[in-house]
Amino acid sequence: MLIVGLYKRYLLNHNFEFVTGKVTEITLPGWKSSGNYSVLYVYQVSGKLYRSSDNYNYCGQLGITKLRALLVGKNFPVVYAVKDASTGILLLTEEIADRFHYQLPDSVKFYDSVLTCKQ
């Protein structure tokens, strides 16, 4: 499993594209996962719908109810591996976007400032 994970990360880091994804749910991460919250989202590549989730450590006092109100139903950029479109990451923060040399739109920078306590 570790080898598969490393291979998927390699694919994502070396040949990627961007699409728009939509946040569908905010949950607590699984018992073996790290992070304060898990953000579930969908995105579409070549007519196929993909579902994924990313765990995040957020600062501040955002509870799960406020985080849901802030993010669910909103669209954000997603980076995905061209050779394996099921491997994607939601670009919610500038730190993540910078890894892929992606400039977050001003509309997304607001969410970044709230989630990383830059306000």
**Which amino acid, residue 36?**
N
**For position 41, which CATH number holds?**
2.40.50
86-95 pLDDT, tens per residue?
999 999 999 9
pLDDT the model gives residue 34: 59
Single pTM value for the model: 0.86
Tens of pLDDT, residues 30-67? 666 556 888 999 999 999 999 999 888 777 667 788 88
Q: Which of 98, 90, 94, 97 is nearest to 114 (CA)?
A: 94
Total structural domains in the chain? 1
Nearest to 61 by CA among 24, 119, 115: 115
Sorting pLDDT into bands at 50, 70 and 90, what band is 16?
A: very high
| pLDDT tier at 114, thresholds 50, 70, 90 | confident
* Domain assignment of residue 31, given as a range: 2-115
